[in-house]
Each structure stands twice: as C-alpha cells, then as structure tokens.
Structure 1
C-alpha cells in the first residue's frame, strides 16, 4: 500500500440514521466536518429496506408473488424521493435515477421464481437484500458529490472477500487485504472519498454474500485494518455503549471507554449496539473505535480501544442474550470416561448450532450448556442419538 501522510478516518452510518433524505444530508454534513483529511464511508441500507425485502420474499414463497414487485416499487420510490431531494437536477441526478431503476428492475422477476420453487435459499436472500446497501451507497455518494467532495462509489464485492457462507459469511482477511489495497489507496491519494456498501462481500465465485445482520460494522473495521486507520466512527441512534439495556434499566449510563476485549464480550452476549464479530479484525491493532450518537455529532460517545483505564467501578456494563435454552448431559456413567465432552459438542456442532455458555461440574458428573431456544429440540435429538447406548444402559 502506498504510504500516506495521514491514515483515513472510517465512518459507518446505519440504516436508522439514513432513513430519509434528511438523515442522509446530516450524514453528509458529518463527513464534511472531517475534511480535508482522508475518509472512507460505509453505509447500511436505508431504514426498513432489508426487512421489507425479506418479508416480500417470504410471502412470495407462499404464493404471494406480487409482493416482490410491490416491494421493488416501494424501494424505487424511497430512493428516488431521497435522490431528488439531495441531488440538483441535471446529468448527475439523471445518472443516479437510471442506476436506481436498473437495480430495482432486476428484482421484479424474482417473485415468480420464488412462487414456483416455494423455497428461499440463503444465496437468494443475499442477492435480494444486497440491493438495499448498494442503493443507499449510490444515493449517499451522489449527495456527497453534490456537496462538493470528490467521491467514488466502490462496490463491496470489489474490496471485501469472504468464504462464501451465504447469510453469515466470514471475511477472508488475506484476500480482502489484497483486493482493498488495490482499489482504495489510489482513490485516497487523489483526495477522493470512497463510499462502500456495508454488510456485503464477495463469495469465491464472485456472487454477493452478506456478513450477517449488522455486518456494516464489520465492513468498517475490516477496512480500518486494511488501510491502517487509527479511528473508526460508528454513527448510531444511541448515545454510546450503555451500562445496561435502557429498556430494562431506565437510568443506564454511557460508558466513556472500554477495552476492545470487554466490548467484544458485551457484543457477543447481547449488546445490540455492536456487531459481535466487528472487533475481530482490530483486536491487535492500534485502532480506536467510537460508538457515536448520530443526533449529536459533537459527542464522542464511547471509545473502544486497547487502552486500559483504572476506574472505581471495574464492572463496565451488563448484557443479556434472550431466548436461550439450557441442556444438561448428566449421569453416573460420565465419571472418569474420556471423550464425553467431545461427543457432546460434536453432536451439537453436527446440527450447526452455536453454544453460548458452558458449565461443567468439577466431579465430571454433568455438562450444562445453552443454545438458542429455537434450536433446543434439534440439539436434544442429536444428543439422544449420540448417547443412545449410554441412555439405554441408564449411564446418562
């Protein structure tokens, strides 16, 4: 990567912030306040778009094939309305409207296919919902350009490479570094602001694959790692990382600073403000991630970094994972028998179920763990099949 005098500042704007033209305009103003330094912008789909597309597709598989066409027209109207409010009439607006029309028209035949197959695969879902982030990025790029910036729309599939697990893809760091360093540094060297759709990446076959809900945070931190950024601003509809869920604890406070590993634990265990995997790319990098309130751009929100601070209260925050079920494998036949734990979790792994918590008695008499409630019966059945012989002998 070509050396730069200043590392770029990465901004990520979520869907709640970009719900309409007014939100996009405010986000553009935030980017303008950070000029003239190098910047990269990552955007989510406009508010409500992803859920609307998913619901239309699900209804199409039940025979309501017109729902995809209706959702596509709503998508067109929403982005056309924002484009006309943000971009002056002329060639730039005409080009943007043409790209919106092309992206929307590609979706229309999908409803008929879903109605025939009555099946909605992860690959199809990714193909469908990717329109939201891409259209949002196109509108944002045009609005930023209209405000006087040099801008380049950069499709996420050109810079983020993944393992191709549709619906919840994992980034391939080595391939992502090669791709992103080929595309982004030349733009930054020309004082151009790259605008990248979040949440998306390329599968090995070139098809679009999503990084899981909330994956735009992960896009931002991946680009921070690749470009050697020192600061990432995740603009949210909350004042920062809070000490607890404000819906449960009304007087929850903003935590000014947390260590990156503390934040990773909170994200994994239910703190919805941050994507659970967003911190993985920067765990060992000197990057400060800030969760900042979109409604108050002057606030610094919460800093997530490797910096450690000594405070009066060592417990920073509490989080919870709802909808969990506890499973226990127990019995006198487990005592001193090697491989019980391995067989237990192999059975759960075979069903593709993630384990959130593990507790084992010191006597080796039982193993208790939690799984998502909707997966509990599948996990139990797999365990019963695995330990069928021990159950028949009443050892488990």
Structure 2
C-alpha cells in the first residue's frame, strides 16, 4: 500500500515543476485570477496560479471574503447566455450547440479552480481555501453557489479511485501520528501512551484514506478493535489495564471511532468506502472475524429531547436504552431522514441499528450528548447493499427485533 501511495504521489506531483520566476506578482489577487482564466501560456499560467495560492493564504479574513465575493459575482454564469445556448441546442441539437451550452452553463470560476490545481501541492491549498469559504458561507448566502462549484470539482478529484488506504500503526511517521491525535474527534487521544494503546496491541487497527497529492494529510481514519463478542462500553474497550484479545480468538471487528480530518472536504463522503474497504481487508486477513459493528455515540439525543420538551428521567439504565431506541428509530429531521447525524451516516451505508447500551460512555462528553448511551450499528456484509438501497428509497430505519421492542417501551412518544 505504501509503495502504491508513493508511486501515485510521484505521478501527481510530477505534473509541473514550479517554473523559475524573477519575483512574485503583487497585483491584486482578483486581477491575477482574471488573468489566469484568460491565460493561454502554460508557464505563465503556473506562475499566476502559484502567486494566487500563496497570496490568498496571506490575506486577512476580510480580504479573503472580498476575493470570494469576486469569484461569486464576476466569475458567475450569464443566465441570458445559458438560456440562449439552451434554446439553440433545443432547436438544433449538435456537438457544437451542446458544447456552446456547456461552456455557458459552467461559471469561469470552475476553470479558475482547475487551473489553480495544476501547480504542485495546490490540492491541499484549495482544500484549505474551501475551509475558509465554509466559515464565511454561514454569513454570506451569495457564496453558496461558489461552494457548490468547489464541491463539484472535489467530488471528482477525491473520487474513491484516487484514494489510497494506508494502515496507521506505532511505526508510522511521527508527523502522521501527531495528526491522528489532533484530528481524533470522537474519543480524544490524551497522550502518546493513549495513542500507543490504540495502535500497538495486536488486537488494534487503524486505517486512513490519503490522496496522492496530499500524502502527509489523512482525509479520514477509522480506529478498530478486535474483540470476542460485541462490546457495550467504550471505557472498557479503551481501558489501560485491559488484556489484549489474541488475533485468532477475535470474532468481531469494532469500528469505534471515525474521524474526518479536513474541514475543507466537508460533504465529500469517504466514510462509506472506508468502512467497506477495511471490513473487506480485515475479513481477508483474519478468517475468524464474523461480525462487523460500530460502537457509536448518539451525539444529538439530549439536544433532541430538550428541543421537543421530551426530557425525562433517563438516569435509569433501562429507560435510557428505551428512549435512545425510540429516538434512533423515530426522530426525523430534514427530508424525513433520521435526526441523528451518526445514524444517517451508518444507515445510509447499509448498516442496521443492532443494540443500544446504557452507561456505555461515562465521560463528560458522553453524559452531555446522550446520558452515556451508545449504539452498535451492524454491518452484515452480504446485506449492506440491499439495506443501503432500501434506506435510500424508503428512509425506513432497519433495526433488530431487540431495538424495536426497546423503542416500543419508551416513555417518550414524540416523533
């Protein structure tokens, strides 16, 4: 895997050597962007792109916002031209009329972003640029269309076919391990010893997706525990004094933490491919593994109860489980999808709600989110595709009989 990653990185980074330049072009960044879109020369285009990217990262937030607003307006589509070319294509469908329509329908800023991506290490810079954009979209609705252009291009550039799966272990480079610590967003890694406990024992695994043009930046990673049986507590799973399970005795792979690493890649989905690839690889490596589950938080349970005036005394473990089961099966958000984001993710991947556990995360974060309740999502590999298709079509939450019985016993009845 490492050899393949290195080869792909070489292919991507061989693209264009940075041309020798006498000095940076210090004109306004908007003027440079306009010139880059109109540039026909490859060498001059590379120099302009490099100046734009380096210049952007040194701008203040106010000036970044001005640049984004320029892209959103001056480099937008011309609706009249789109209408006219579409009318022409409808009257006379041909290669030339269709090309004219496509040209009119694509804003110039998409071509700008593509040209910026021609220089070495540009992809990472553009991901950081979109992270800045996402911070500002919240306060400027005109930028939403610009973000859609970034998403459209990133969906192609970060296609699964370009991603490289790498195992992360205690022998991985220190700068990668530091990023695993920094990016862990589910169960904080408190120290290097804590990280060692998650990577070094033979019953622990970690895998990350990398992109060849960002070889030192994990995009998403998953932490896996090999166990006998399905665990019901994250503290037990991560205990300092636990006894490691021998590989040949493990029958269950537990995905207990999945962390997205790049803010600029929000809404670009990798998790589906990551879990399925890791499950497939582990299944091939360890024939004794028969069960693939998560041990997942329920991050919005308390918030939902409070918003619906449905809070009850869920300090009782049985009641906590019943309330959580009802929430996972019946609480709906946008477009009739589950209210809980983790549920949407795993159900959308083809998993089912398998079991609910009270007092499964007794950390402060776990108590605040769900009174410590956690859930197992089961990935039944032969049925994943079927479950995914059914969920996408009907939005019905697939769940075990045990979870359905729990939901029916819930003291909370709000939908």
For normalisation by structure 1, the TM-score amounts to 0.29
More strand by share: 1
Bigger relative contact order, structure 1 or 2, given CA contacts below 8 A and separation 6+?
A: 1
More helix by share: 2
